[in-house]
A and B are shown apart, each in its own frame.
Chain A
Amino acid sequence: MAAVSGLVSGLLKRRFHWTAPAALQVTVRDAINQGMDEELERDEKVFLLGEEVAQYDGAYKVSRGLWKKYGDKRIIDTPISEMGFAGIAVGAAMAGLRPICEFMTFNFSMQAIDQVINSAAKTYYMSGGLQPVPIVFRGPNGASAGVAAQHSQCFAAWYGHCPGLKVVSPWNSEDAKGLIKSAIRDNNPVVVLENELMYGVPFEFPPEAQSKDFLIPIGKAKIERQGTHITVVSHSRPVGHCLEAAAVLSKEGVECEVINMRTIRPMDMETIEASVMKTNHLVTVEGGWPQFGVGAEICARIMEGPAFNFLDAPAVRVTGADVPMPYAKILEDNSIPQVKDIIFAIKKTLNI
């Protein structure tokens, strides 16, 4: 009897010593792909259109496999006609479908920006609440590598400026999947600013992100790293640089709280303010130009809110250089925020 109970208790004890399953690594590209695939499957009205999205599998392979699975009706290759196909997408949304309109990069969205702002963003308001426009505009935004001035602009500030739009900016895979799914399910025009350089980067996918109903709420920032000495706020690829800077500074005893905005509009000021009220210092980091940028807006709002009185130093911005993006590598490298620039700004703010 004792032997049996010993065996049983041994077995019971053994249950608490199992090893965790190997972490699932998913690239940002695959995360977006999964998100779109799940939403296409879930709702018949969702469809994707844009240049090369179907037979080419996507200019950056983000829509790989979708045309094969869903066919011509749901995955539509368009001619090179941004203004035309963006307008077509908005019209389809007005008539009750749920289009995902891909811009090969957001630089080309400038050709269609009238449709995004005047036809999509403003319509629900102008119609007194009669005509919703459930559309997603997505594509890579901001600097890439060596693509020069006309292909490197960041549009976060431009789109973030406009009431009626929602604007999200995912950093990692979890962000990418959760935000694209929320964007597709949202009944409003949502601009999803992806990043080409992040597409191939793998991240650990937490179990909840593997669910078909995994959504990240639009309008909520995430604290990626807790800290006490300074708040560092960023969006998109620079979030990674901020975490690198934080790791370096941690060795010197400076603990940075790194906030991943996730959403540009509506901006989650509460999370930023609560953090600043705790750390008393603020640095914003973005890839876009400084004038009228995301950081400028954050600083203005900090001044207006309760967190101002908690600042021990002026808020500081780290941004892209105020130039059209140059081509030569040394020039390009110095035109976007580097880890050393972030560290320098943090130390300046902390006066160390």
Chain B
Amino acid sequence: MRKMLAAVSRVLSGASQKPASRVLVASRNFANDATFEIKKCDLHRLEEGPPVTTVLTREDGLKYYRMMQTVRRMELKADQLYKQKIIRGFCHLCDGQEACCVGLEAGINPTDHLITAYRAHGFTFTRGLSVREILAELTGRKGGCAKGKGGSMHMYAKNFYGGNGIVGAQVPLGAGIALACKYNGKDEVCLTLYGDGAANQGQIFEAYNMAALWKLPCIFICENNRYGMGTSVERAAASTDYYKRGDFIPGLRVDGMDILCVREATRFAAAYCRSGKGPILMELQTYRYHGHSMSDPGVSYRTREEIQEVRSKSDPIMLLKDRMVNSNLASVEELKVQSLVHGGLKEIDVEVRKEIEDAAQFATADPEPPLEELGYHIYSSDPPFEVRGANQWIKFKSVS
């Protein structure tokens, strides 16, 4: 029956008519939700952890799938644009780590806060910016989210504080945002991310100390992708149990390739912080397919076999898709077929591809910021003043 329906939908999709009946055809056979078992988290100084089962609704599943696919395709497009030299400088891609950014966002509210380091494109998207603005910032155009002034590592959005280039510096910043949350008394939390490499920075331990001392609603999150640039965790850390490194701060180690695991752990951690108990630490075990950045092929310090193994066994998008298809939350074709949000049948993958393509077009065609704006945004809320250029006769106007 399902095969017949699938065949029917394939034929009908060519006609692109009668969306209403297609919705009926498509949704009739699918469950509204399903319950999944998720891996138990390793705990540090915690009596209990997140639940080991979770309910995924069809709607959420499609949403997460779409978001992860968008991040994946966006990063691959950035790879392409970089090789064409349309993107330059630093470009740190997060393909493989989609379950982290999408899963974290699924566990918090838009009114919560998030700060991360330089592998930030995925978070920039999940925190609300469009692929268009992100790619245009990477290509350094005026339509970029920072008007071309920041580039890959300096993208900002509401309640998203970048995008930070100095390894580890974002962690005290995140603790400070958490301080503001507590100061304002609004029950908001701050997700403060860093990598396995950054985890050895002294300022992070200073932040742990003050966050615990003052009970700041800060969720410290170590995105452990096993390599800090070219240095594996075993070669960098005396203790690779990053979830325990907060010492007096309770911690949990989470399967960062499973979006449902990430979501549940985040809900658990956020509830902990919101209850006023102070900070908590989450280690997300994840993996990046690309090298550290576009200038690193990523195979001198790890084997292609290892990368391939992760891709074939633990790819986050594949894991979600398999779960949804096997539990009748969607069909393979259906995941190429979208019904709920747009009302008509389209292919999610095709849609995503188109979204990325359009964004890349824009990012390539949009002009660079005008030279006159070189001096803009030095100070906030100030009257315009003059900024010196390369010599004393070259002057730029600075406008706030």
- Asked if residues A115 and B169 are in contact (CB atoms below 8 Å), the reply is yes
Q: Are A130 and B156 in contact (CB under 8 A)?
A: yes
0 or 1 for each of B164-193: is its CB under 8 Å from A? (1 = yes): 111001011111111111011000000000
Q: Does A216 contact B (CB under 8 A)?
A: no
Mark A residues whose CB is within 8 Å of B: 47, 73, 76, 78-79, 81, 83-97, 114-115, 118-119, 123-132, 134, 163-164, 166, 186-188, 266, 304
CB of B373, distance to nearest CB on chain A (Å): 9
With a cutoff of 8 Å between Cβ atoms, the chain A residues found around residue B169 in the complex are 87, 114-115, 118-119
How far, in Å, is B206 (CB) from chain A's closest CB? 3
In-complex Cβ contact of A91 among B176, B376, B387 (8 A): B176
Q: What's the Cα separation between A94 and B156 when bound, in Å?
A: 11
With A79-B210, A128-B145, A164-B379 as given contacts, are A114 and B172 in contact (CB-CB < 8 Å)?
Answer: no
Chain B residues contacting A96 (CB-CB under 8 Å) are 180, 184
Which chain A residues border B381 with CB–CB below 8 Å? 132, 186-188
CA distance A73 to B387 in the complex (A): 39
- The residue on B at minimum CB distance from A76 is B214
28 A-B contact pairs sorted by A residue (CB < 8 Å): A76-B214, A79-B206, A79-B209, A83-B172, A84-B175, A84-B203, A84-B207, A84-B210, A86-B172, A87-B171, A88-B207, A92-B177, A94-B161, A95-B113, A95-B161, A95-B177, A96-B184, A115-B172, A118-B165, A119-B166, A125-B149, A126-B146, A128-B147, A129-B380, A130-B146, A134-B380, A164-B378, A188-B379
Q: Is the pair B147, A118 in contact by a Cβ cutoff of 8 Å?
A: no
In the assembled complex, the Cα of A129 lies from the Cα of B142 at a distance in Å of: 13
B176 & A188 in contact (Cβ 8 Å cutoff): no
Nearest-neighbour CB distance to chain B for A268, whole angstroms, equals 12
Residue in B149, B171, B213, B392 whose CB lies within 8 Å of A304: B392
Interface contact B392-A87, CB-CB below 8 Å: no
Could you say which residues of chain A place their CB within 8 Å of the CB of B377?
124-125, 127-129
Q: Is the CB of B172 within 8 A of A97?
A: no
A131 B156 Cβ-Cβ under 8 A: yes
A73, A83, A304: residue with the most chain B Cβ atoms closer than 10 Å: A83
- Chain A residues positioned under 8 Å from B113 (CB to CB): 95
Taking the complex as formed, is B385 at the interface, i.e. its CB lies under 8 A from any CB of chain A? yes
From A79, A95, A188, contact of B180 by CB (8 A): A95
Given A88-B179, A94-B177; A83-B146 close (CB under 8 Å): no
Are A91 and B400 CB-contacts (below 8 A) given A85-B206, A132-B381? Answer: no
Decide yes or no whether B162 CB sits under 8 A from chain A.
yes
The complex places the Cα of A164 from the Cα of B176 at a distance, in Å, of: 20
Q: Tell me the minimal C-beta distance from B369 to chain A in angstroms.
A: 9
Report, nearest first, the 5 A-B pairs whose CB atoms are least far apart: A91-B176, A87-B172, A84-B206, A128-B147, A95-B180
Q: Mark B389-400, 1 if CB is under 8 A from A, else 0.
A: 000100000001
Closest chain B residue, CB of each to CB of A79 = B209
Q: Complex formed: what's the CA distance from A86 to B210 in Å?
A: 12
| CB < 8 Å A-B pair total | 146
Q: Which residues of B contact A124 (CB under 8 A)?
A: 377-380
Known: A85-B206, A89-B176, A92-B177. Is A187-B380 also a contact (CB below 8 A)?
yes
Residues of chain B with a CB closer than 8 A to A187's CB:
379-381
Flag whether B148 is at the interface (Cβ < 8 A). yes
Instruction: Give A115 to B206 CA distance when docked, in angstroms.
Output: 14
Task: Give the docked Cα–Cα distance between A125 and B380 (Å).
Answer: 9
Report the bound CA distance from A86 to B176 in whole Å: 9
B353 to chain A, nearest CB (A): 29
How close is A299's CB to chain B, nearest CB, in angstroms? 14
Point out the residues of chain B lying under 8 angstroms from A93, CB to CB: 176
B27 nearest CB across to chain A (Å): 41
Chain A minimum-CB-distance residue to B213:
A79
Q: Does B14 contact A (CB under 8 A)?
A: no
The verdict on B121 contacting chain A, using a C-beta distance below 8 Å, is no
Residue of B nearest to A96 (CB): B180
Please, how many angstroms separate the alpha-carbon atoms of A76 and B179 in the complex? Answer: 11
CA distance A69 to B385 in the complex (A): 40
Distance in Å: Cβ of A41 to nearest Cβ of chain B: 17
A266 contact set on B, CB distance < 8 A: 385
* Residue ID in chain A nearest B148 by CB atoms: A128
Contact present for A87 and B173 (CB under 8 Å): yes
Q: State A96–B180 Cα separation when bound (angstroms).
A: 7
| Nearest chain B residue, comparing its CB with the CB of A133 | B380
Q: A118-B165, A119-B164, A124-B379 are in contact. Are A92 and B146 (CB under 8 A)?
A: no
Contacts of B166 in A (CB 8 A): 114, 118-119
Q: Given that A126-B150, A128-B146, A130-B156 are known contacts, is A91 also in contact with B380, CB under 8 Å in the complex?
A: no
B378 adjacent to A127 (CB under 8 Å): no
Chain A residues near B48 (CB-CB < 8 A): none
**B372 CB within 8 Å of chain A:** no
14 further A-B pairs in the complex, CB-CB below 8 A; given A124-B379, A128-B147: A47-B183, A78-B210, A79-B213, A91-B161, A91-B176, A92-B180, A114-B169, A124-B380, A125-B377, A126-B149, A127-B377, A128-B149, A130-B145, A164-B378
In the assembly, what is the distance between CA of A73 and CA of B182, in Å? Answer: 10
A91 vs B400: C-alpha distance in the bound complex, in angstroms?
21
Beta-carbon contact of A92 and B149 below 8 Å: no
Chain A nearest Cβ from B189, distance in angstroms: 12
Chain A residue contacts of B202, Cβ below 8 A: 83
Q: Is the CB of B206 within 8 A of A83?
A: yes
User: A81-B206, A85-B206 are contacts. A92–B378 as well, Cβ < 8 Å?
Assistant: no
Complex CA distance for A84 and B172, rounded to whole angstroms: 5
Question: In the complex, what residues of B have CB within 8 A of residue A86's CB?
Answer: 172
- B176 near A94 with CB under 8 A, answer yes
Contacts of B150 on A, CB cut-off 8 Å?
126-128
A-side contacts of B171, CB under 8 Å: 87
- B 118-156 contacts with A by CB, 8 A: 144-150, 154, 156
- The reply to whether A87 and B176 contact each other, CB–CB distance below 8 Å, is yes
B233-265 Cβ-contact flags toward A at 8 Å (1 or 0): 000000000000000000000000000000000
Query: Which residue from chain A places its CB closest to the CB of B171 in the assembled complex?
Result: A87
B47 contacts partner chain A, Cβ-Cβ < 8 Å: no
A-side contacts of B392, CB under 8 Å: 304
Contact status A132-B183, CB under 8 Å: no
Q: How far, in angstroms, from A114 to B169 measured CA to CA in the complex?
A: 8
CB distance from B150 to the nearest CB of A (A): 4
Residues of chain A with a CB closer than 8 A to B156's CB: 127, 130-131
Selected from B144, B161, B380, the residue in CB contact (under 8 A) with A188 is: B380
B382 at the interface (CB under 8 A from A): yes
